[in-house]
Amino acid sequence: MSARIIDGKAIAAELRGKVTMEVHRLRRDRGIVPGLAVVLVGANPASEVYVGSKKKMTVDSGMRSFDYRLADTAGESELLALIQRLNGDPDVNGILVQLPLPAHINSQNVIAAIDPSKDVDGFHPMNAGRLATGLPALVPCTPFGCVILAKTVHASLEGLNAVVIGRSNIVGKPLAQLLSAENATVTIAHSRTRDLPAVCRGADLLFAAIGRAEMVNGDYIKQGATVIDVGINRVPGEGGKSRIVGDVMFADASAIAGAISPVPGGVGPMTIACLLVNTLRAASARAGLPLPAI
């Protein structure tokens, strides 16, 4: 049996379509145009690509996009001053500082300087705390997208056994909290977990957010499980070119799983779509409007 492929590209396109409709409605009924400011420090080629597609999709959805580029020699104080300015700018509803930052800048100081109501990455300790305590929050985009993908397979996640491999602040931890809020029974696995394949074989929902190319093979997967692959790993490909693979060995896993998200074309497109959802939500909240039902 071969697993159903979870088409993140199509699901993300549908989500962006809903955002576009809500942005249009906000502009028509309230004269509000949500704005997203993206700050890039230095010239990291991968970050340039991410920032370029974020900008395009922001504009395509009818929102305003504001681009800020600082040289990699820019100091932390310069970046903090820019964030203060964006915090006070009424046209800016979302602020995203592209990570990683150059080593001389403390990312935690930068994240903490962002107004939590404009923190569309959901990394501010205030939003992390609100998520952990079950209060409404701007939640990190990648885990947000993972849960949406899982819910395209299972109408409800209630009572399902979920295993999240990875416990980073960006993916694993917030993902575990979102799944718990969906009433799944959640296990967080990591590099010190004993007999990881056996732990994973207990999962109805398996999320791999590790950063190790194709580590999760068929031995980790329960028959019929739903597998969401968060990993983005660059490995040598044919003709000296590199290619992107996930944390899951796709062919092996799809022979056992019931449903599986591919890399590329799974979680990746969802991350940007959820960034747009967060920006729309931030703009609605700032205007005192109810959150759009997306």
Interface mask (CB under 6 A) for ligand NDP, residues 39-68, using x and -? Answer: ------------------------------
Interface mask (CB under 6 A) for ligand NDP, residues 197-226, using x and -? Answer: ------------xxxx--------------
Q: Cα(34)–Cα(130) distance, rounded to whole angstroms?
A: 23
H/E stretch holding 10: helix 8-30
Q: Rule CB under 6 A: say whether 242 interacts with ligand NDP.
A: no
Q: Rule CB under 6 A: say whether 165 interacts with ligand NDP.
A: yes
CB nearer to ligand NDP: give 82 or 140. 140
Nearest CA among 207, 55, 51 for reference residue 142: 207
Q: Cα(270)–Cα(280) distance, rounded to whole angstroms?
A: 15
Choosing from 98, 118, 177, 222, the catalytic residue is 98
Q: Cα(113)–Cα(11) distance, rounded to whole angstroms?
A: 33
Number of residues that bind ligand NDP (CB under 6 A): 24
Choosing from 119, 121, 229, 247, the catalytic residue is 121
CB atoms within 10 A of CB 241: 7
The distance of Cα 38 from the centroid of its chain, to the nearest Å, equals 15
Helix axes 141-153, 267-286, angle to 10 degrees: 110
Which of 64, 167, 201, 286 is close enough to bind ligand NDP by CB under 6 A? 167
**Smallest separation, CB 231 to ligand NDP (Å):** 4
Which of 101, 137, 148, 230 is close enough to bind ligand NDP by CB under 6 A? 230
Q: Is residue 98 annotated as a catalytic residue, yes or no? A: yes
Beta strands (DSSP E) in the chain are 4-5, 35-41, 64-70, 94-97, 161-165, 185-189, 205-208, 226-229, 233-236, 242-245, 259-260
Q: Rule CB under 6 A: say whether 268 interacts with ligand NDP.
A: yes
Binding residues for ligand NDP, rule: CB under 6 A, are 142, 165-168, 170-172, 190-193, 196, 209-212, 230-233, 267-268, 271
Catalytic residues: 54, 98, 121
